[in-house]
Structure 1
């Protein structure tokens, strides 16, 4: 399931965010009547269709895996948190219908109604993602039932869906999707600008994608702070593992980098900022932060994996914040930078960073919750399928998802190469901006 999620999270995030790029370009076309925006919209709509299909396939597999790999979990959890999954299915069907209208609605619908169907694609896709995250948040913050003598009683699906963790997780995940997709799309178009083909076309695409990605990147630390303060109260063991905080203490230092030494209860090669963890967790430099020493060893998350994944997520997030601020400065004071090679190369190099941070953040969420699948209620070891031979299905799924990734990559490369070729007949239609400076 980890392999499946690792692939699906990328497909799903792109499928959630790309429709908003498409709708923005379409809006600009309707307002300005510039052909460049129409062609950009049509090019992006094909990418949306590709990721909608792959996201649907990979997501359907996950639904089967929930039942096949985690039977005891679904036996108890299904009736409690089934509502967000049901609503997610509804949102998915709305998205599918709207996408069909959008792809085949050119010159058939009223132009503004056609644009609106594209907006519906984005909104329904975003709703699907938020609903799935709400279900995951319930695993981190169980609510909507009473657990009495091993029985799940007084079930309230609404309370389960709107659990204490759903808002902070949904906010953080949504912004992460916009950051990762925005910088990835902008990086691809920056590379195509550097190649000197239809530079004005790719510049428009670069700017639209990067505005979304940069705004989300600047907001992401705020959502991260909200999440950290929430985790400090609900899941102190996860926070302790994230920070490599072994001993409960007041004025706890924030650890940057380092490699946890679990045996000796310390973090080697780290930079410490005194009192910063207390402030970030509780808003007070003198506040006490619970350490791993307050939990039995069997209830502690894997510290090394959680800490390193957290450091990767935060480190890459700050790099993207820096690129975002550089972009905003260039738009404000140095617009000529947008045509320089060094500036574009920075964003080309930043293409994969958002998705690496996304995978690292998901690792923190899932590994940091261990050994619980329902935090404080049901252990992962007690929920997993006891059927032998599952390793063979793992090899099969690795092969399937690698094949799917290769197929999607091939389709996208073919689509990207087709963009300048399809525009040759309109040579010069986008103006004379066909070069990138030194």
Structure 2
């Protein structure tokens, strides 16, 4: 493994792990705040127990997310020094603001975890809300920095020098809103289905049924609403990609030829050599309609992109297809949930219904990983779209492959530790949570 591939692999590994922790850290505080609010309003102590149990999970993921995020910040300088030298002054603002949001989140989480019976009950609830809001802002700010890499603005490049730098314009680049919206909705969908799946499994095993049923419903509602909204955010994001990164869109769709009535490709195996897609379902004109709102206008194909500027087509296409397929699966399950909520409440007691959510536990995070693969691999060979190539930004320091092996071991160990802690936390839910004595909120 050469230096370049080792650096890319290490960054991919770090991002792949961190995105799981960050999604859960962004979203679960809102679950916690809702259950806390329901306890304050109803006085039902089961909601208080759900809040306390979830708060421990939030603390676990906050700690692991902080560690993995810190590693990523160091890796940017270690692995991509040329990139940071030029890009740091331009897109550094969202990273610095993200640090501020992180500190607010840490303080608020400390208040929440240790504030039981010490603060006014509504102020205590408010600190939990601040944890969620600051965590969500952290995610949005980081995504804004990544969006700048896909849609660089806020500077002029003159004779190889970056001048007239405007960090505010760079942060609010043309892609930041669509990309942040898509990522946030995906985080809610993935975390909602994952948490709901865990509680559905406990209900199926008849363990602490009242506790897990209430937790399941809160998480599922978040996940279902996000899954149904996700295609809308995906459409906004795809239109921005078509405008700013036509090579990425062409690779996503394995769209080799620019022609009227551009077809939407579903599935298939790209044959890059012969410029075709085998075993695919083609919907004539649908790609044109999705991009241009009419069926005839051509969508730029890979034939308009120099070969040296084309991203890896197969990887981008497969990742995109996986993301879309799993997103549609979650949306379908979300529709079933709404039917159960409004018309078929008996389904909530059916094993087949609960089993669907158990099977869907990892689906959202697989879709998130696939989506980030599309975002990063689809931008190649550029680290800054159209400005700087990834190969030109990598460190000249030798031996990066050893660092990659070391970090692989570290992240594997960290994952095992998180799984162990979460498993222990779930098993520690006491039977009394099902029939606690009523307490005054």
Aligned counterpart, 2:181: 171
Aligned counterpart, 1:402: 412
Aligned counterpart, 2:163: 153
2:78 counterpart (62, 68, 76): 68
Aligned counterpart, 1:141: 151
Q: Which runs of 4+ in 1 moved over 6 A?
A: none
After TM superposition, give the deviation of residue 295 of structure 1 in Å.
1.0
Aligned counterpart, 2:119: 109
2:402 counterpart (385, 392, 417): 392
Aligned counterpart, 2:229: 219
Is the CA contact (8 Å cut-off) linking 2:211 and 2:434 kept in structure 1?
Answer: no
Q: Distance in 1 between matches of 2:82 and 2:227?
A: 39
My pick for the range that moved more, 227-236 or 400-409, is: 227-236
Q: Distance in 2 between matches of 1:162 and 1:315?
A: 30
Q: 1:430 to 1:180 in 2, by over 3 A?
A: farther
Secondary structure of the residue aligned to 2:428 is helix
* Higher RCO (CA-CA < 8 Å; seq separation 6+): 2
Q: 1:80 to 1:212 in 2, by over 3 A?
A: same
Aligned counterpart, 2:386: 376
Is the CA contact (8 Å cut-off) linking 1:91 and 1:127 kept in structure 2?
Answer: yes
Secondary structure of the residue aligned to 1:373 is strand
Q: Distance in 1 between matches of 2:321 and 2:305?
A: 23
Q: Distance in 2 between matches of 1:174 and 1:228?
A: 16
Q: Distance in 1 between matches of 2:250 and 2:290?
A: 13
After TM superposition, give the deviation of residue 428 of structure 1 in Å.
3.3
1:95 counterpart (89, 97, 105): 105
Is the CA contact (8 Å cut-off) linking 2:210 and 2:434 kept in structure 1?
Answer: no
After TM superposition, give the deviation of residue 430 of structure 1 in Å.
8.3
Q: CA RMSD in A?
A: 0.9
Q: Distance in 1 between matches of 2:301 and 2:395?
A: 32
After TM superposition, give the deviation of residue 200 of structure 1 in Å.
1.1
Alignment partner of 1:428 is 2:435 = yes
Secondary structure of the residue aligned to 2:296 is coil
- Normalised by the length of structure 1, the TM-score is 0.97
Q: Distance in 1 between matches of 2:328 and 2:90?
A: 37
Secondary structure of the residue aligned to 1:250 is coil
Secondary structure of the residue aligned to 1:288 is coil
Q: Distance in 1 between matches of 2:101 and 2:107?
A: 10
Matched length: 428
Is the CA contact (8 Å cut-off) linking 1:36 and 1:430 kept in structure 2?
Answer: no
Is the CA contact (8 Å cut-off) linking 2:312 and 2:377 kept in structure 1?
Answer: yes
Counterparts of 1:23-102 in structure 2, within 5 Å, are 23-102=33-112
Secondary structure of the residue aligned to 1:306 is helix
Q: Distance in 1 between matches of 2:58 and 2:229?
A: 25
Counterparts of 1:278-427 in structure 2, within 5 Å, are 278-419=288-429, 421=430, 423-424=431-432
Alignment partner of 1:17 is 2:24 = no
After TM superposition, give the deviation of residue 429 of structure 1 in Å.
3.5
After TM superposition, give the deviation of residue 427 of structure 1 in Å.
6.0
Is the CA contact (8 Å cut-off) linking 1:178 and 1:216 kept in structure 2?
Answer: yes
Q: Distance in 2 between matches of 1:39 and 1:386?
A: 53
Is the CA contact (8 Å cut-off) linking 1:200 and 1:430 kept in structure 2?
Answer: no
Where does the alignment leave 5 or more consecutive residues of structure 1 unmatched? 432-438
Q: Distance in 2 between matches of 1:115 and 1:326?
A: 32
Q: Distance in 1 between matches of 2:348 and 2:63?
A: 34
Is the CA contact (8 Å cut-off) linking 1:175 and 1:220 kept in structure 2?
Answer: yes
Q: Distance in 1 between matches of 2:19 and 2:33?
A: 22
After TM superposition, give the deviation of residue 309 of structure 1 in Å.
0.1
Is the CA contact (8 Å cut-off) linking 2:260 and 2:298 kept in structure 1?
Answer: yes
My pick for the range that moved more, 227-236 or 314-323, is: 227-236
Secondary structure of the residue aligned to 1:249 is coil
1:26-67 CA deviation, whole Å, 9 max, x = no partner? 000000000100000000000000000000000000000000
Alignment partner of 1:124 is 2:134 = yes
Where does the alignment leave 5 or more consecutive residues of structure 2 unmatched? 1-10
Counterparts of 1:249-268 in structure 2, within 5 Å, are 249-268=259-278
